[in-house]
Each structure stands twice: as structure tokens, then as C-alpha cells.
A = this chain, B = another copy of it.
Amino acid sequence: MDMVENVLKDSQTERNELLHKVQEQQPDDEILYDLAELFKVFGDSTRIKILYAMFEHELCVNDIAGLLNLSQSSVSHQLRILKTSKLVKFRREGKSIYYSLDDEHVRSIISMGMEHVEE
């Protein structure tokens, strides 16, 4: 084995070690699946509109439908998805149900995305 081959071999070994490290640092598929599911929820313009509308204040279903010019049914369906993903919480007041963002993470993620979009 001459010098040149030696250098090549070492460089390859180094690369393999790197790939091994990447392999190790990669989170479990399950976690990455959940992460993708989370972003998927943000990845629909109707849902983003709804989330954004709730950025500062709680809103009831009819408020949202009226504000965003969406059908009551559509809003309700989407809110169910947002509830399931723990992005919004809600409380009943008489006949109405008021929805609001569940925690600061939701606001942070939206803000972070907005920064990237506004570039």
C-alpha cells in the first residue's frame, strides 16, 4: 500500500466515522415522525390563518368563520385538528366556545416561520 492509497484510505475512514456520527445523532424515527406531524398542522393556509387570528385574543368559532370568511364547518374541522395537536385550548361560555393558542411555543414557531418568509 503506497502513500497515496494510505491517504485515500484515511480520508475514507474519516468520512465513514463522520457518517456514523450523523447516524448516531439522528433522533428516533418516531420522534421525527411526530415532528413532521407537528409542522404538517402549521402547513395549511386555513389553519395558519386561524392560528394567526388567535395570536392576541381568544375567539369563538363564529368569530373566526366571520373574520376569515370560512364556513362554520370548515373552521370546526380545522379546530379539531388544532386541538388534537395541542396547539389550541378552549373554554365554553354559554353557547359559544372560545379558542386560544395553547402555549408560547405556538407563538414562537409561527414568529420564527414568519421571519423566514419575510426575508
Q: Classify the secondary structure of A's interface with B.
A: helix
The interface size of chain A toward B, counting residues with CB under 8 Å, comes to 48
A28-69 interface mask toward B, CB cutoff 8 Å, 1 = contact, 0 = none? 010111111111111111011100110111010001001100
Whether A43 and B45, one on each chain, are in contact in the complex, defined by CB atoms closer than 8 angstroms, is: no
Which residues of chain B are within 8 angstroms of A29 by Cβ–Cβ distance?
Answer: 45, 49
Judge whether A94 is part of the interface by a CB distance below 8 angstroms.
Answer: no
CB pair A48–B32 under 8 Å, yes or no, is yes
Q: Is A1 an interface residue (CB 8 A)?
A: no
Interface residues in chain A, defined as those with a beta carbon under 8 Å from any beta carbon in chain B: 18-19, 21-23, 25-27, 29, 31-45, 47-49, 52-53, 55-57, 59, 63, 66-67, 105-106, 108-110, 112-118
